[in-house]
Chains A and B, each alone.
Chain A
Amino acid sequence: MKRINIPLKEKKLTNLKIGEKLLLSGIIYTARDQAHKRLFEVIKKGKRLPVDLRGQIIYYCGPTKTPKGKIIGTCGPTTSSRMDEFTPALLKAGLKGMIGKGSRSKEVIAAIKKYKAVYFLTYAGCGALLAKYIKKAKPVVYRDLGPEAIYKLEVKDFPVIVAIDVRGNNIYKEASTNKKTNIAKSYEARQSY
């Protein structure tokens, strides 16, 4: 498995292919529903973001409280599609990576292609295990949101799978050579829901 230091330089981002399993080391920021709503409002108002997202990676996660003696609580990914409506604006503002679970809308995929970013999946429902890869954690922005605050995480060998690459290839739409797999059919069914 490839070990990658983050933030990622654009050239390295471009080389990533869907399905690749990577181990990320460096800084990532958590943000989910309410933080995204706030960041989106800031961008709409033309104000400066409370955290510089250029080149950064956002992890869709709201961790449990931190037990005594631990760095962070349980911290697995939340459903990415809830952040879809806010994502193109963040990508335009320079965000380069997102880690979550589940598929993304066609608008997000288009924005990923346009702004050259990557969407990663990590192990869903495995937050106790994933906590082991977090070396430092601190809520830095929107602390009033509690678990929905933006946390700055220092990660080491955080396991991810490339789900959407800079060309817009989508792991959920991956079709076999001769006929569409059920994943692709199921994905299409959900797009029309």
Chain B
Amino acid sequence: MKTIKAEAISNVVSDLCIKANTVLRGDVLAALKRALKKEKNKRAGDILEKIICNSQVAKRENLAICQDTGLPCVFVELGQDVRIVGDLKQAINKGVEAGYREGYFRNSVVLDPLSRGKSGFSPAVIHIEMVKGNKLALTVMPKGFGCENKTQLKMFRPTAQIAEIKKFIVEVVKTAGPDACPPYIVGVGIGGSADYAAFLAKQALLKPIDRRSSKLEKELLIRINKLNIGPMGLGGVSTALAVNIQTYPTHIAGLPVVVNISCHALRSATKSL
């Protein structure tokens, strides 16, 4: 049994909030550099250069990569042999508050989605999963809402052809157009229940984008890049950097599919306690 104090969790979450918002993920930066090499469209090349330069300025000066420091989404893998002293969710939110305050990030969270009101840094959206072992893994993903707003869900018939699903995924990107800050990283969740497919789509964005991709992911990436939306929607072959798909068993009567797009500032940071 490993004991972890709430304060330790807050400190880690605070550091992760700062890291995620100021240091662009290595695999994303590498993908942007590869995209720049491949890009023949002048405007697109100029924009990709600025995006890469922006990440360097942010890292060097400890500035947020993007002013939309997002809705903090925290993914927790809690080992079954971990004993937490204190309130886990409270500790996470305290960490978010501290990190966002220290980083001079943006208060983009309203407490009531209907009446809105003054905005703050928290609460985060927290997903907790029990796993085997005695580690506590924390991942912070500040999710920008320009891209979150382009999320789409479709409940396909269980007999739907794969071609229909591919078409839907590509259409979601086409509909997003320039608005969600391409080049995109496209998260897809297939299966489970409607809400679980949405979770899978978001969680898919945490997977490294330079890993070996499946045939379906490769094909979708090619089709999406054929849309020629390009950076800022001004044309080019860099409409998306990657497509990450996660699947889960589902009901005999259904086939939920969710597409969650990330902008080029795909931000996440992880640490294990």
Complexed CA–CA distance, A70 and B181 (Å):
26
Of the residues A74, A132, A146, contact of B119 by C-beta under 8 Å: A146
Which residues of B lie under 8 Å from residue A34 when comparing CB positions?
116
Q: Are A126 and B50 in contact (CB under 8 A)?
A: yes
A39 at the interface (CB under 8 A from B): no
Report the nearest B residue to A82, measured CB to CB.
B149
Q: Are A190 and B67 in contact (CB under 8 A)?
A: no
B82 at the interface (CB under 8 A from A): no
Evaluate whether A144 and B106 lie within 8 angstroms (CB atoms) in the complex, with A74-B65, A129-B57 already known: no
A124 at the interface (CB under 8 A from B): yes
Within 8 A of B (CB), among A26-74: 34, 61-67, 73-74
Write the nearest CB–CB distance from A22 to chain B, whole angstroms: 14
A14 at the interface (CB under 8 A from B): no
Complexed CA–CA distance, A66 and B105 (Å):
8
Complexed CA–CA distance, A172 and B175 (Å):
14
B51 at the interface (CB under 8 A from A): yes
The stretch that binds A, out of B127-135, B157-165, B222-230, is B222-230
Chain A residues packing against B (C-beta within 8 Å): 34, 61-67, 73-76, 78-79, 81, 101-103, 121, 123-129, 131-132, 144, 146-148, 161, 171-172, 181-183, 186-187, 189-190, 193
Write the nearest CB–CB distance from A83 to chain B, whole angstroms: 12
Which residue, B171, B233, B263, has most C-beta atoms of chain A within 10 A?
B233
Write the nearest CB–CB distance from B195 to chain A, whole angstroms: 24
Evaluate whether A125 and B177 lie within 8 angstroms (CB atoms) in the complex, with A65-B106, A182-B228, A183-B235 already known: no
Complexed CA–CA distance, A161 and B181 (Å):
16
Which residues of A lie under 8 Å from residue B54 when comparing CB positions?
123, 125-129
Q: Mark B50-85, 1 if CB is under 8 A from A, else 0.
A: 110111011001111111110000000000000000
Which residue, A76, A101, A125, A148, has most C-beta atoms of chain B within 10 A?
A125
Q: Are B65 and A102 in contact (CB under 8 A)?
A: no
Write the nearest CB–CB distance from A161 to chain B, whole angstroms: 8
What are 9 A-B interface contacts by the 8 Å CB criterion? A34-B116, A62-B67, A123-B47, A125-B263, A126-B53, A127-B65, A131-B63, A183-B228, A183-B233
Evaluate whether A183 and B104 lie within 8 angstroms (CB atoms) in the complex, with A102-B177, A102-B179, A125-B54 already known: no
Complexed CA–CA distance, A129 and B67 (Å):
11
Complexed CA–CA distance, A76 and B62 (Å):
16
Write the nearest CB–CB distance from B152 to chain A, whole angstroms: 10
Evaluate whether A182 and B64 lie within 8 angstroms (CB atoms) in the complex, with A81-B179, A124-B181, A125-B51 already known: no
Q: Are B67 and A103 in contact (CB under 8 A)?
A: no
